C-alpha cells in the first residue's frame, strides 16, 4: 500500500489543494492517529474507493481510512442496526430513497457548515441529485455519482432490419415503429424490452407524457391521471403487440441479459451498463446509446449515490474533512478513470467518456438538463415494492391499463398517507 | 451405567456440605461461557423481539407501545396469509422428500464398494454456495433456454416458466429444497441404518422375506427414530425457508415474487426493507409459535409410529 502512495506522488499535488482548504478550516490541529471506516456495497467500485481513500490518507497522514464492502442485501440492515446501536461506519454510501429515514432520524452528520467553510459550490453537482440529499434546508450528503437514462440499441439488429439508428429527434412513435420492424419471431428477436421497470422505464414515460409520478408535496401519486396512463400504455402497448419478450420471459432472463444476448434491439436504461457492454467483445462494436425518445416533452428520472457521515461518529472533524474530499474533484476523477460510474462533479466526466469512445455516452450527461429526481416521498421502499403486484395484470393484458393504474395509485396513496 | 447414575449419593451430612457449596459455584463458573452465550445470542434477542412485537418501532428514535396492534394488523393482512399458505405448501413438499431419502439411504446402504461416492454426490449440495445453487437452478428452470424444458421437449411436452409463473414457483422451489436437504438426511438415516443388526435381515430372508418386505417390516420400523428426527429438522427448516427465494427471485424483476413470498421473506421485507420492525417482530413471533405447534404435534404423533426397540 505504502509503495502505491509513493508511486502516486504526482497526483498528490492536486489533492494538496483540497487539503490545504480543509486543513485551514479545522481549528483542532490534533495529530493523534484516527481511523475512519467508509462503507459501500459495490465489489466493482471497491478498488476505486480504496484508491480515493489512499489519496486522502497521503494528504492527511494522521487519518487512516478503512474501506468496507458489504453485499447489497446486508448493507442496509447492517447500516440501520449499526446506526441505531452506535456502531455504524463513519462514512457510507447513501441512496435517495433511504435518505429521508436517516435524516429524519438524526443519524446523519450535518454538512452545511462544512460546505461553507470548504467553499464547496453545490452547483457543480446535478441539482436533482444534490436536492435529494437536502432535508429541511440542511445538506447531509455530497453527491458521489449520478445516473440518467438513455436508449441503448443494437446496431447490428437495426442494420439487419434496415431501420435507421435512433437519434435525438426520436419520439415515442419512432420507437414504436422501429420496434415493429425490428421484431422477428422467426429469429427470436424482439424490438424492445418492456419490463415493469420504474427507473429505466415507466417513470420516464409518465414524465415524458407531461405527468408527475408523485405530486410535488409528496401526498399522492399520479399514475391514474391521463399522463400517467399514457406513460404506462407506452409499455403495455409494446407488450400487447408482441414487440417485447413477455414478463415471464423477462423474469427468467433479465432485460439487460436479453439485450446482451442480442435478443432485443432496444433497451432503455442507465449509464451503469456502459462498462459491462463495453467489456463484452460481442457487443462492443454493435452497441450504442441515444437519448430517450420524446413524448409530449423530454424527460428522464435521475438519482445518484451520496457520501454521508454518521452523526454518532467519534471523530466528526476528521470525518467532515474526508467527506469534503469525497465530494471534490480528485475523488470524482479517480471514479471517472475507472469507468465504473459517472461522477457527479461537473466537468470531471471526461475521463469516463474517453474510456469508452465508441459509445455516445455524452447523452447521459446532456440528460441532466431535462432530468427529474427519482421520487422518494414517504416510505419509498414500501410503495416502490408495489409496482409488480399491481402492474403485472396490465402488462399481461389481463386488466385494462386504466383499472390497474387506478388500483396501483390507490395502494401507493395509502402508503403515502401513513404518518 | 444407569445404576451408578441414578443411585442416590448418600453423603454424610455436616462435614461434606462445606465442600459442596463452593463446588456449586465452580459448576456455575464452568457453564458460564455457554450460558452467557445462550443468553446474549438467544434469550435476549428473543425477549427483545417479543417486546418489539408490541411496539411501533421506527427506523430510528424511540419506539411506542401499541399493545396488540401489530398482531391485529397481521390477522387482517392478506399478504401474511398468502405467505403462510406458501410456507405451509413448501413444507408439505419438503416432507414428501423424506420417503425418498429413506429409500435412497437404504439403497446406498446396499451398495458394497463405492458407497462413499454416492454419499459425497448427495452431500455436495450441502457444501455448495447457495448463490451457485440458485444460479444453476435458475438455468434449469428457465422458460426459454432451460435444461428442464429442453428435456421435456424430447417427449413432446410444452415447457413452462417454472420460476416466473406463480402457479409453479413454490413447487419448483420444493424440488430444489428436497435436493438440497437430501445430503444431511442421508447422513442421519445412513447412521440409523448401520445400527440395525444385520442378523435380522439374515433371519428374515431365511424365513422367506423379500427385499421389499424387509424394507417395510425391518428397515422402516427400526429406522423410525431417525426418520422422526429428520422430519422434525425438515419441518423447522422448511418453515424458515428464505434463502432460495432470496437468491432465485430477488433483484430480478420477477413477476412471481408477489405471489410466492414465504413467512420469513415477508418478515425480512417488513423489518429491513420497509423499516417496520414492530410488525416484523410480530411476524417472527407468530412463526415461532407455528414452529412450536408443528413440533409439539409431531412429538404427540410419534407415539403411534416411532418404534424405540
Least confident segment among A15-19, A116-120, B246-250: A15-19
CATH class of B70-305: mainly alpha
pLDDT beneath 50, residues of chain B: 1-7, 14, 18
In this predicted model, what pLDDT tens digit does every residue of A41-89 receive, in sequence order? 988 889 999 999 999 999 999 999 999 999 877 898 889 889 988 899 9
DSSP secondary structure string for all residues of A115-180: HHHTT--GGGS-HHHHHTTEETTEE-EEE-B-B-EEEEEEHHHHHHHT-PPP-TT-BHHHHHHHHH
Average pLDDT of the segment spanning A111-138: 92
Query: Which 216-245 residues of chain B touch chain A by CB within 8 A?
Result: none
Residue B110: per-residue pLDDT: 84
Binning pLDDT at 50, 70 and 90, where does residue A23 land?
Answer: very low
| Distance separating alpha carbons of residues A205 and B197, to the nearest angstrom | 73
**Residue A91 pLDDT > 90:** yes
Q: How far apart are CA A99 and CA A306, in angstroms?
A: 9
Nearest by CB to B274, from A102, A382, A389: name it.
A382
Give the closest-approach CA distance of A264 to chain B in angstroms.
14
Give CA angle at B299 (B294, B301), nearest 5°.
Answer: 90
Residue B109: the pLDDT is 87
pLDDT of residue B250: 65
Residue A310 contacts residue A245 (beta carbons within 8 Å):
no
Can you tell me the distance from the alpha carbon of A79 to that of A88, in angstroms, rounded to the nearest whole number?
6
Residue B9 pLDDT = 52
Domain ranges of chain B: 70-305
d(CA B61, nearest CA chain A) in Å: 6
- pLDDT value of residue A15: 40
The tens digit of pLDDT for each residue in A230-286 reads 999 999 999 999 999 999 999 888 899 999 999 999 999 998 899 889 999 999 999
Chain B residues in contact with A392 (beta carbon < 8 A)? 255, 258
Measured distance CA(A296)–CA(A274) in Å, rounded: 28
The structural domains of chain A, ordered by start, are 2-147+303-355 (3.40.190.10), 149-302+378-417 (3.40.190.10)
| Positive or negative: CA dihedral B242, B246, B248, B252 | positive
For residue A93, the model assigns a pLDDT of 97
Q: Looking at the partner chain, which of A80, A84, A254 has a beta carbon nearest the beta carbon of B253?
A: A254
Contact between A306 and A143 under an 8 Å Cβ cutoff? The reply is: yes
Of the candidates A84, A249, A253, the beta carbon closest to that of B60 is on A84
Q: Quote the CA–CA distance of A345 and A366 in Å, as a whole number.
A: 14
Min CA distance, A295 vs chain B (Å)?
Answer: 25
Q: In chain A, which residues have their Cβ closer than 8 Å to the Cβ of B276?
A: 382
Residue B2, SS3 per DSSP = helix
Residues of A with a Cβ under 8 Å from any B Cβ are 73, 76-77, 80, 83-84, 101-102, 104-107, 195-197, 247-255, 379, 381-382, 385, 388-389, 392
Q: Is the ipTM, as predicted for this complex, more than 0.95?
A: no
CA-nearest residue to A196 within chain B is B253
Residue in chain A nearest B142 by alpha carbon? A252
Q: What pLDDT is attached to residue B197?
A: 92
Q: Report d(CA B286, CA B269) in Å as an integer.
A: 16
Say if residues A130 and A123 touch (Cβ distance below 8 Å).
no
| pLDDT of residue A333 exceeding 70 | yes
Is-contact A395 B258, C-beta < 8 A?
no
Smallest Cβ–Cβ distance between A247 and the set B141, B255, B269 belongs to B255
Beta carbons of A76 and B274 less than 8 Å apart: no
Mind listing the pLDDT tens digit for each residue in A370-417? 999 998 888 887 888 889 889 999 999 999 999 999 999 999 999 999
**Distance to chain A for B241, nearest Cα, Å:** 17
Cα–Cα nearest to A340, from A13, A40, A113:
A40
Mean per-residue pLDDT over chain A, rounded: 89
Q: Among A102, A255, A388, whose Cβ lies nearest the Cβ of B255? A: A388
Residues of chain B with Cβ-Cβ distance to A101 below 8 Å are 59-60, 275
pLDDT digits (tens, 9 = 90+) for B44-72: 999 999 999 999 988 787 889 999 999 99
The C-alpha atoms of residue A116 and residue A408 are separated, in whole angstroms, by 43
Provide the pLDDT for residue A126: 92
- List of chain A residues whose C-beta atoms are within 8 Å of the C-beta of residue B158: none
Amino acid at each position: 500500500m505504502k509503495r502505491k502512495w509513493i508511486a502516486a506522488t504526482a497526483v498528490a499535488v492536486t489533492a494538496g489543494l483540497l487539503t490545504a482548504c480543509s486543513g485551514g478550516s479545522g481549528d483542532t490541529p490534533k495529530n493523534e492517529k484516527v481511523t475512519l471506516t467508509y462503507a459501500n456495497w459495490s465489489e466493482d467500485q471497491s478498488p476505486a474507493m480504496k484508491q480515493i481513500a489512499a489519496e486522502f490518507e497521503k494528504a492527511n497522514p494522521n487519518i487512516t481510512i478503512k474501506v468496507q464492502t458489504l453485499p447489497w442485501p446486508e448493507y442496509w440492515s447492517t447500516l440501520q442496526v449499526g446506526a441505531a446501536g452506535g456502531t455504524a461506519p463513519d462514512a457510507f454510501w447513501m441512496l435517495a430513497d433511504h435518505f429521508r429515514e436517516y435524516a429524519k432520524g438524526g443519524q446523519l452528520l450535518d454538512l452545511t457548515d462544512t460546505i461553507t467553510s470548504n467553499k464547496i459550490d453545490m452547483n457543480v453537482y446535478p441539482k436533482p441529485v444534490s436536492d435529494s440529499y437536502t432535508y429541511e434546508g440542511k445538506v447531509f450528503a455530497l453527491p458521489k455519482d449520478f445516473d440518467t437514462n438513455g436508449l441503448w440499441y443494437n446496431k447490428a439488429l437495426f442494420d439487419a432490419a434496415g431501420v435507421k439508428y435512433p437519434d435525438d429527434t426520436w419520439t415515442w412513435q419512432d420507437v414504436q415503429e422501429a420496434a415493429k420492424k425490428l421484431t422477428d419471431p422467426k429469429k427470436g428477436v424482439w424490438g424492445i424490452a418492456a419490463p415493469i421497470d420504474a427507473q429505466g422505464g415507466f417513470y420516464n414515460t409518465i414524465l415524458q407524457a407531461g405527468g408527475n409520478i408523485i405530486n410535488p408535496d409528496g401526498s399522492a401519486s399520479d399514475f391514474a391521471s391521463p399522463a400517467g396512463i399514457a406513460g404506462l400504455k407506452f409499455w403495455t402497448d409494446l407488450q400487447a403487440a408482441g414487440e417485447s419478450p413477455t414478463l415471464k420471459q423477462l423474469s427468467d432472463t433479465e432485460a439487460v441479459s436479453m439485450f446482451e444476448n442480442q435478443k432485443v434491439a432496444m433497451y432503455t436504461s442507465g449509464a451503469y451498463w456502459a462498462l459491462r457492454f463495453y467489456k463484452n467483445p460481442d457487443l462492443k462494436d454493435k452497441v450504442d446509446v441515444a437519448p430517450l425518445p420524446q413524448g409530449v416533452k423530454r424527460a428522464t428520472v435521475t438519482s445518484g449515490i451520496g457520501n454521508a457521515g454518521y452523526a454518532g461518529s467519534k471523530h466528526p472533524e476528521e470525518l467532515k474533512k474526508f467527506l469534503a474530499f469525497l465530494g471534490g474533484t480528485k475523488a470524482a476523477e479517480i471514479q471517472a478513470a475507472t469507468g465504473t460510474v459517472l461522477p457527479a462533479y461537473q466537468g470531471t466526466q471526461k475521463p469516463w467518456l474517453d474510456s469508452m469512445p465508441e459509445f455516445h455516452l455524452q447523452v447521459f450527461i446532456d440528460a441532466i438538463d431535462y432530468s427529474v429526481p427519482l421520487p422518494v416521498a414517504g416510505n419509498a421502499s414500501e410503495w416502490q415494492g408495489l409496482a409488480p403486484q399491481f402492474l403485472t395484470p396490465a402488462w399481461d393484458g389481463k386488466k385494462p391499463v386504466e383499472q390497474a393504474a387506478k388500483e396501483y395509485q390507490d395502494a401507493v396513496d395509502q402508503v403515502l398517507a401513513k404518518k | 451405567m444407569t445404576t451408578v447414575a441414578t443411585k442416590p449419593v448418600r453423603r454424610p451430612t455436616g462435614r461434606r456440605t462445606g465442600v459442596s457449596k463452593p463446588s456449586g459455584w465452580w459448576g456455575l463458573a464452568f457453564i458460564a461461557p455457554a450460558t452467557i452465550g445462550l443468553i446474549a445470542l438467544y434469550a435476549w434477542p428473543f425477549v427483545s423481539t417479543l417486546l418489539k412485537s408490541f411496539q411501533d418501532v421506527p427506523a430510528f428514535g424511540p419506539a411506542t407501545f401499541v399493545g396488540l396492534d401489530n398482531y391485529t394488523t397481521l390477522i387482517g393482512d392478506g399478504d401474511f396469509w398468502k405467505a403462510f399458505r406458501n410456507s405451509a405448501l413448501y413444507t408439505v413438499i419438503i416432507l414428501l422428500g423424506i420417503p425418498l431419502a429413506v429409500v435412497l439411504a437404504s439403497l446406498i446402504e446396499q451398495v458394497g464398494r463405492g458407497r462413499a461416492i454416492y454419499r459425497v454426490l448427495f452431500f455436495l449440495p450441502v457444501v455448495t454456495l447457495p448463490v451457485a445453487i440458485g444460479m444453476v437452478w435458475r438455468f434449469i428452470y428457465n422458460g426459454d433456454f432451460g435444461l428442464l424444458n429442453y428435456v421435456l421437449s424430447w417427449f413432446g411436452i410444452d415447457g413452462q416458466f417454472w420460476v416466473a409463473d406463480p402457479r409453479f414457483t413454490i413447487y419448483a422451489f420444493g424440488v430444489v429444497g428436497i435436493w438440497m436437504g437430501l445430503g444431511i438426511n442421508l447422513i442421519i438415516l445412513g447412521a440409523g441404518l448401520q445400527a440395525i443388526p444385520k442378523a435380522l435381515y439374515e433371519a428374515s430372508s431365511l424365513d422367506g422375506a423379500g427385499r421389499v418386505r424387509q424394507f417395510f417390516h425391518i428397515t422402516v420400523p427400526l429406522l423410525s427414530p431417525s426418520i422422526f428426527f429428520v422430519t422434525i429438522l425438515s419441518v423447522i427448516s422448511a418453515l424458515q425457508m428464505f434463502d432460495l427465494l432470496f437468491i432465485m427471485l430477488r433483484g430480478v424483476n420477477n413477476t412471481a415474487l408477489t405471489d410466492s413470498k414465504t413467512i420469513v421473506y415477508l418478515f425480512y421485507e417488513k423489518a429491513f426493507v420497509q423499516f417496520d420492525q414492530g410488525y416484523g417482530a410480530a411476524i417472527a413471533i407468530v412463526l415461532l409459535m407455528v414452529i412450536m405447534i408443528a413440533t409439539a404435534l409431531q412429538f404427540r404423533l410419534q407415539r403411534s409410529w416411532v418404534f424405540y426397540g
